[in-house]
A and B are shown apart, each in its own frame.
Chain A
Amino acid sequence: AQSVTQLGSHVSVSEGALVLLRCNYSSSVPPYLFWYVQYPNQGLQLLLKYTSAATLVKGINGFEAEFKKSETSFHLTKPSAHMSDAAEYFCAVIPTGGYNKLIFGAGTRLAVHP
């Protein structure tokens, strides 16, 4: 079954540093890919999504992700971390023939320190 793998359950960066959260998918056919953020005690908020249009996808709050078919990756980046970015980040996929069901990765907890 198609899935996504998030490398690194915890990532810690300094305020102002580059944020890089890794996500790889397992599929021979490019799927639809998503990044969600979950702040403490809240639901999920969509950051951005890839649906086979532009490979560089810009999202909210300064985040972006690049779809790389050759690397089966969809890593999330932000040039300069802010304290408010501290949260749990989930990569998700709708597999081919998945009937619109989102399959989530294990999540990466981002900590931002002064």
Chain B
Amino acid sequence: SAVISQKPSRDICQRGTSLTIQCQVDSQVTMMFWYRQQPGQSLTLIATANQGSEATYESGFVIDKFPISRPNLTFSTLTVSNMSPEDSSIYLCSVEAEVFGYTFGSGTRLTVV
């Protein structure tokens, strides 16, 4: 299965600032996914990122708040913009490296103060 490297693993940020999270995969994948896991809760899909096209956002998530880049088939970034304490969560990237074989990164633990 694919191996995902996600950076940073954790960060503490000031409100009003932005953080960019990187996701690097060791193989080429068509679709990459970004999830948010709020404290003590389940995972919610933020958006799906395909190489060469605009990301598709789920209801409740907008591009201005969570801009995503997908410059090639092995890399993607998620930016959390103009952060507030409510953005404190774990952010995870995921790929479908094989049919129905979804692999997750280890996550970025974000605390906004």
Contacts and interface: CB of A to CB of B under 8 A. Distances in A.
A46 to B, nearest CB: 7
B113 interface: no
Contacts of A97: none
B111 to A, nearest CB: 13
A103 B58 CA distance: 12
A93 to B, nearest CB: 11
Contacts of A32: 100
The bracket for how many chain A residues form the interface is 20 to 34
Contacts of B92: 43-44
A90 interface: yes
Query: Interface residues of B toward A: which range?
Result: 20 to 34
Contacts, number: 48
B102 A101 contact: no
B42 A43 contact: no
A94 B100 contact: yes
Interface string A41-73: 111111001010000000000000000000000
Given A51-B99, A107-B41, 10 more contacts: A34-B100, A42-B106, A42-B107, A43-B107, A45-B104, A49-B100, A90-B42, A101-B45, A102-B94, A104-B44
